[in-house]
Amino acid sequence: MNQNYEQMSFTELRAYVGENREDIEALRFLMSKRDPNSKGYPMPVTEADMQAQMEIIRRKINGKL
């Protein structure tokens, strides 16, 4: 299946990707829509790293970041 990803909203595309897991092109396109300036986080190595990153994710979930 070759959908026109450009015409989908971000929400529609995300839902499509969830339903069409074998469509790797759609997944790549979805990921290409991410903000290129968004902050990246390194791999958590220590337990303290994991706790710190979990706190970051928790704040993102709560809309505080």
Whose Cβ is closer to other proteins: residue 7's or residue 25's? 25
Give the closest residue to 3 by CA, choosing from 14, 35, 62: 14
Q: Which single residue is written with the structure tokens 């709560």? A: 62
Whose Cβ is closer to other proteins: residue 7's or residue 49's? 49
Residues 36-59: b if buried by 16+ CB within 10 A, e if exposed: eeeeeeeeeeeeeeeeeeeeeeee
Binding of residue 29 to other proteins (CB under 8 A): no
Binding of residue 48 to other proteins (CB under 8 A): no
**Interface with other proteins by CB under 8 A: which residues?**
14, 17-18, 21, 24, 27-28, 30-31, 34, 43-44, 50, 53-54, 57-58, 60-61
